[in-house]
Amino acid sequence: MATDTTEVKAIARFIRISPFKVRRVLDQIRGKSYREALIILEFMPYRACDPVLKVLRSAAANAEHNAGLDRAQLIITQAYADQGPVLKRFQPRAQGRAYQIRKPTCHITVAVGAGAAAE
How high is the pLDDT of residue 118?
A: 45
Taking the C-alpha atoms of residue 28 and residue 36, their distance in angstroms, rounded to an integer, is 10
Helix axes 19-29, 49-66, angle to 10 degrees: 50
How high is the pLDDT of residue 5?
A: 74
For the chain, give every domain's residue range. Answer: 2-114
**How far is C-alpha 109 from the geometric centre of its chain's CA atoms?**
5
Helix axes 34-43, 49-66, angle to 10 degrees: 160
Taking the C-alpha atoms of residue 48 and residue 118, their distance in angstroms, rounded to an integer, is 32
Per-residue pLDDT in tens (0 to 9) along the chain, 119 residues: 444 578 999 999 999 999 999 999 999 999 999 999 999 999 999 999 999 999 999 999 999 999 999 999 999 999 999 999 999 999 999 999 999 999 999 999 999 998 765 44
Instruction: For residue 3, give the nearest of 117, 80, 110 by alpha carbon.
Output: 117
CATH topology of domain 2-114: Ribosomal Protein L22; Chain A (3.90.470)
How high is the pLDDT of residue 4?
A: 57
Taking the C-alpha atoms of residue 112 and residue 2, their distance in angstroms, rounded to an integer, is 15
Taking the C-alpha atoms of residue 21 and residue 26, their distance in angstroms, rounded to an integer, is 9
